[in-house]
Structure 1
Amino acid sequence: MSEQIEKTQTGPKAIWQELSVDLVSCLRFYSRLPVPALPWEQSPHALPDFPRLARVLPLAGVVLGLLPALVLGIALLLDLGPWLAAILSVATMTFTTGAFHEDGLADTADSFGGATKQRRLEIMRDSRIGSFGAAALMLTLALRIAALATLASRIEWSGVLAALLIAASLSRTAGLMLLVFLPPARTDGASYAVGRPTPETFWFASVLAGGIAVILGLLGQFPPTGIFLMLALSGLTGLAFMRLAQRHIGGQTGDMAGAAQQVAEIAALVGLLTMLEA
């Protein structure tokens, strides 16, 4: 018996332990949350193994959406109104992630002022925000808030929370498409440094994201067509940004992946809205 216990203790980690390590690493990478180290983590402060942890990105998206969903639910239960509730929720998500994706969106929008691929990459790296970036931020924030507020006026608060979590999961999977299927546009950027996930990793993440969407969609009592449109439009957004990135800068950057996430989130929420009765 003692030999069996020793073999178990020194053997390979259980799959759930590996996935939990990937999940907390993903949360540290994509957010500003104070994620504690797990007892079985060997190097919690080491550079994340992004090609591996990307497989649980859809689940990390759900976790990142929990606090904004909680804020949204409390605000609706307190009868603060759908618009104020939506603003508080989007603000919570922005602070939770440290405006991680919003920064990428702004840099991507500003890069359209560049005449050449090299100039566009230089603009993306510039920490200053231009008129294109500011306009893109205002418009996407307004669209995200309006989509959540409109959902809150049409369905029960529990359904709005489910929609928020689904969009958080699907949109991050859409952004992952660029990092998997396009080469880095430069060799000294963050997307090059963290490594490139394999297509197998992406398909694992896609199946996970699809399962999350179906389960939460059924719990939220969404029409099947609404769930399908959330899946389809978020995926099409990822494909569109892949083509845009290839033509715009000859590859991918983290900024363009962040921009894809923001647009895919809006697309998923609007897709659901089109299938709901006014």
Structure 2
Amino acid sequence: MSQLMLLKLAVIFLTRIPIKLNGDVNEDDINLSSRYFAAVGFCIGLCLASALWLLSLCLPMGVAILFTIGLGLIITGAFHEDGFADVWDGFGGGWSQQQKLDIMKDSRIGTYGGTALIILMLSKYQLLLALSVDMSVLLFSIVLAHALSRMAATSIIGKLPYVQLDAQSKVKPVAKSLTPTSRVVLYATGFAVASMGFYLADFSIWHLIGLGVCLWLTRWVCQQWFSHQLGGYTGDCLGAAQQICEIAILTFCVVSLL
């Protein structure tokens, strides 16, 4: 596939945006398209930031933020949120690896997953509301969180083994490898987005270093959690990592930029 086709595949994989892709798609194509997951996150963040700015012109900020969160769910089909809920249900309700995977594949949502989703949505709302005291910081934080959270979650690929017992997972297909070139493209995209903070949100070099440490620690915690629970990762785990990293980035922005 050409790079443009891989980018289109990444958009199809992570969103509900209707894009036509000619030809067959195989596992290698999915693995290669993961290099553009951070770029797709940047585009999603840009759309949401633009929508929030427009909504804030005619609605109270709290309502505008709530509608923007809802728009994000529509654009992505709650793809990552579904994985987040499944992980909490599986890890909370299962004892063996197989039990956890069986629960994670169940389309029904349980107490652990439902409660976790409520806390997740409330956390996003409150963090964005806190950032709304400075519109430029708020809009940049949205773009930053969507791009870098997908970068961090995707970078777990190759750091942990893919759990083969998840072969029948409802979230198939799943990227299972990340080439060195793809990893460079992924990190370069994240760095480019973060560097925008120097112009849009009064970032300093210390902010950039602090953000990098925050993301590394969050990813490390996620890796340890997945390894302890499953001995590896599944597609649901990557979705959960994206949501956790998104919250970590927004929290970092609240603490360091306000």
- Distance in 1, Cα, partners of 2:131 & 2:184: 30
Equivalent residue, structure 1, for 2:198: 218
1:58–1:205: 8 Å Cα contact kept in structure 2? yes
Q: Secondary structure at the match of 1:179?
A: coil
Match of 1:173, SS?
helix
CA distance in 1, matches of 2:110, 2:185: 37
Which AA in structure 2 matches 1:65? G
Query: Is contact 1:185–1:251 with CA below 8 Å preserved after alignment?
Result: yes
Question: For the Cα contact (< 8 Å) 2:201–2:257, is it kept in 1?
Answer: no
> What is the distance in 1 between the residues matched to 2:11 and 2:172?
20
Cα distance in 1 between the residues matched to 2:131 and 2:225: 30
- What is the root-mean-square deviation of aligned Cα atoms in Å? 2.0
Aligned counterpart in structure 2 of residue 273 of structure 1, from 219, 243, 254: 254
Q: CA–CA distance in 1 between the matches of 2:132 and 2:207?
A: 15
- What is the distance in 2 between the residues matched to 1:192 and 1:90? 25
Contact 1:162 1:220 (8 Å CA) reproduced: yes
Task: Rate the CA distance shift 1:32–1:233 in 2: closer, same or farther, 3 A.
Answer: same
Q: Which residue of 1 aligns with 2:153?
A: 175
Q: Name the amino acid aligned to 2:160.
A: L
After superposition, what is the alpha-carbon deviation per residue over 1:169-212, rounded to whole angstroms, capped at 9, x for unaligned? Answer: 11011111332211111251458854422351224311221121
- Structure-1 residue corresponding to 2:68: 89
What amino acid does structure 1 have at the position aligned with 2:103? Answer: I
- Once the two structures are TM-superposed, the CA of residue 62 in structure 1 deviates from its matched residue by 0.8
Secondary structure at the aligned position of 1:275 is classed as helix
Q: For 1:1-278, what aligned pairs fall within 5 Å after superposition?
A: 18-37=2-21, 43=23, 46-47=25-26, 49-78=29-58, 80-111=59-90, 112-153=92-133, 155=134, 157-187=135-165, 188-189=167-168, 193-198=173-178, 200=180, 201-215=182-196, 217-224=197-204, 225-277=206-258
| 1:77, distance to aligned residue in structure 2 (A) | 2.4
Q: Which has the higher contact order (CA 8 A, sep 6+)?
A: 2
Paired with 2:223 and 2:113, the residues of 1 have a C-alpha distance of: 20
Aligned residues of 1:226 and 1:273 also touching (Cα < 8 A): no
| Structure 2 unaligned blocks of 5 or more | none
> Which structure's CA Rg is the greater one?
1
Between the aligned partners of 2:138 and 2:113, the Cα distance in structure 1 is 29
**Letter of the 2:151 counterpart:** T
**AA matched with 2:54:** I
TM-score (norm. length: structure 2): 0.90
- Give the total of aligned pairs: 252
Please give the alpha-carbon distance, in whole angstroms, between the structure 2 residues aligned to 1:81 and 1:195: 40
The Cα of 1:228 is off from its aligned counterpart by 3.6
Aligned mates of 2:190, 2:7 — CA distance in 1: 14
User: Do the aligned partners of residues 55 and 247 (structure 1) sit closer, same or farther apart at CA in structure 2, a change above 3 Å counting?
Assistant: same
Q: Which amino acid aligns with 1:119?
A: Q
Q: Deviations over 1:49-72 (max 9, x none)?
A: 122111111111111223222221
When structure 1 is superposed on structure 2, of 182-191 and 114-123 the one drifting more is 182-191
State the one-letter code of the partner of 1:25: L
Q: Is 1:167–1:230's contact at 8 Å kept on the other side of the alignment?
A: no
Gaps of 5+ in 1: 1-12
